[in-house]
Chains A and B, each alone.
Chain A
């Protein structure tokens, strides 16, 4: 590796101020720090630092979504062949899935990173690692047949409007990946809902409804009929967005996030409890078939599990105080189920619930911090008296 280091040191001056490629400084820096942890040492304050940095943190998050991604790739193929009435075997499923999913991932990363690099250069910042996660999450929350140009447009929208206008990673209010999803949902509803989109190149006669859609249909028909068993939904053998179907794969990610300390277990549990609470409450006062769907179904259908583990826990857009995180998570769970059941025009209540609570997270924190301020002021009174 010494020769590589030497090469880098040799070309480095050209990318620094006054060099030939000064305009590409951030780009060079991004690649250099990707290859080598910088030789920067502490100048003031603590002389030693924890080994963790943003690259490590973000790569852990990416690692945690890999199980969901791999399952998603397989499931895209599996659902496709199932709809055709064929059994294709494990590797054929994977191959077909790869053909669908890989291009989406590539488009998402290329679009997003290009924009990130440009903004970093304009701002004279280092390139932020945040998009490594966003770029992986976007493909997992879209249907397998989504046109690639839509992925590009949505990603650009999410990175520019969702993040960079607020000042970049760490400053954004809304979760960028969900911003992309919401953009697609409202701009191209035909590609993001209905029965046709969830199975890639589905045979026409085959019902491609997701369990969520089946549940919503129960409002009109008077009873909910699920094609799939609860166990199928839990394992993920159902149509849906690429990465959201398998609760098992998502739970593996949850364990990685919670164990390493990168994702907030507090938020994950609060979201689930919120969903159970609202689902249970609706069961008790049920007046239609959707409301009667047992509360635990809500945890395994649609994007609930994926959102709870990978979206709600985004530290930038979540509440930042410990107490705030509990309130924030709980309300996400409550609203997700509430929107699903009471407003079937928006089947994906999880996305909207998280975006809504993203907006309210600073307010929740504000009340938590105000309480601390009040405690401090109260402490003063006996001294004065």
Chain B
């Protein structure tokens, strides 16, 4: 193994509500595929309401890259095609028939078939969209061979699930998934592990370059890892994929079917019994949270508190998410809140007296804690942004849309999640992740 990369800058936000390491099977009958999970995809439907589908049946394709297909995670019936404002396709809802019948894509040994056949299998099964690329943080382009593939084998985000626990017992599938990716990338698969991992599935993985990391969040962000191992330069393409998606690929090649099983952590201060659930991609979270959350106005998040998507209590898991977080809404006024001593107010600065209790854990709510202002403070972002990139300068370059400067300042290396902590600590309450996404989309249009 290589030396340990020590990430020094960053922040572990001390939240209450970690998932207890026990499994429960989630009996969900309601599922959905949300085209809005896929950045830059304009869906063209292949099914209509009432159609019977199997796990792996094509649901829609991307208008701009027609070969990329999206498939059903379960067998059952399409109950509703839900559209939002301007007829935006929001959800394709599927009611499971519990038979779990699957389309047969044929098992295969990745060593024995060609790269083209592998790609074809991944496209056909609808698993391809689980592979994403840098720059732009979008679904990997079919026409490219990446410089490398990176898999982050740990998540440092607040309340994040433990991948050692998730991967346990799935070593064979995981290894087959790696073999597939290795073939796609000419052998350059990086498995980026935590220095604390004990999972033999990771430590004894073959066909990979093992890189070890230590330090606070965002050490587990794949973008930070790439930056420290082999940074992305202009023109480079790197693919990234999460651990559970590697396992999904492994199952496809070993069993010949799209098995959408995932393990999801239910976390957050408002969950009565935070724990892990075995379910499938796109499952409704209602069976998880019904009678399992505290009273009050709550926010349900598919993903973590820094980067996740707000959903309703009866809504569905995001395709890339391995956790659900429930926290209190902060939609109330607080009398002279900014002037109080603030013993219970969490801040990375020492402007509130909460610095007296450094080990306290918090149940933070969604209040913005202030009004939106122009950038005034400096040096805040640098403390939580472990890359050799000037975050404030890059953000400003995006705001005034200077393409050349954005490129020079390293826009190809980042995605919104890398700026989540900057957004958290920002005194000016700027929507930084939104700005980064806007910058990436601008670059993508400019370069295509």
Contacts and interface: CB of A to CB of B under 8 A. Distances in A.
Contacts of B307: 45-46
B349 interface: yes
Contacts of A5: 333, 335
B336 interface: yes
A225 interface: no
A46 B379 contact: no
Interface string A159-197: 000000001111100000000000000000000000000
A1 interface: yes
Contact of B377 (A4, A35, A46, A315): A315
B369 A45 contact: no
Interface stretch (A201-209, A246-254, A282-290, A371-379): A371-379
Interface string B150-191: 000000000000000000000000000000000000000000
B375 interface: yes
A316 interface: yes
A44 B431 contact: yes
Interface in A1-50: 1, 4-5, 33, 35-50
A229 interface: no
Interface centre among A52, A55, A59, A171 (most CB of B within 10 A): A52
A59 B236 CA distance: 47
Contact of B376 (A56, A170, A259, A380): A170
Contact of A262 (B351, B431, B433): B351
Contacts of A49: 367-370, 423-424, 426, 429
Interface in A343-385: 365, 369, 372-373, 375-377, 379-380, 383
Given A59-B338, A369-B409, A40 B378 contact: no
Contacts of B216: none
A111 interface: no
Contact of A369 (B350, B351, B390): B390
Interface centre among B305, B342, B378 (most CB of A within 10 A): B378
B400 interface: no
Interface centre among A41, A128, A318, A375 (most CB of B within 10 A): A41
Contacts of B94: none
Interface residues of A, number: 61
Interface residues of B, number: 73
Contact of A50 (B327, B369, B393): B369
Contact of B333 (A38, A53, A266, A379): A38
Contact of B334 (A36, A50, A316, A320): A36
Interface centre among B13, B366, B434 (most CB of A within 10 A): B366
Nearest to B422: A46
Interface in A44-80: 44-57, 59-60
A322 interface: yes
B389 interface: yes
B308 interface: yes
A198 to B, nearest CB: 33
30 contacts: A4-B335, A36-B337, A40-B368, A41-B365, A42-B367, A42-B368, A45-B420, A45-B432, A45-B433, A46-B306, A46-B423, A47-B299, A47-B366, A49-B423, A50-B369, A51-B347, A51-B352, A51-B354, A52-B348, A55-B338, A56-B351, A169-B374, A169-B376, A262-B377, A264-B379, A315-B378, A315-B379, A321-B390, A373-B409, A376-B233
Given A37-B367, A315-B379, 16 more contacts: A36-B334, A36-B337, A37-B336, A38-B370, A41-B368, A46-B305, A46-B307, A46-B420, A46-B424, A49-B368, A49-B426, A50-B425, A53-B370, A56-B351, A168-B374, A372-B388
Interface of A: 1, 4-5, 33, 35-57, 59-60, 126, 128-130, 167-171, 259-262, 264, 266, 315-316, 318, 320-322, 325, 365, 369, 372-373, 375-377, 379-380, 383
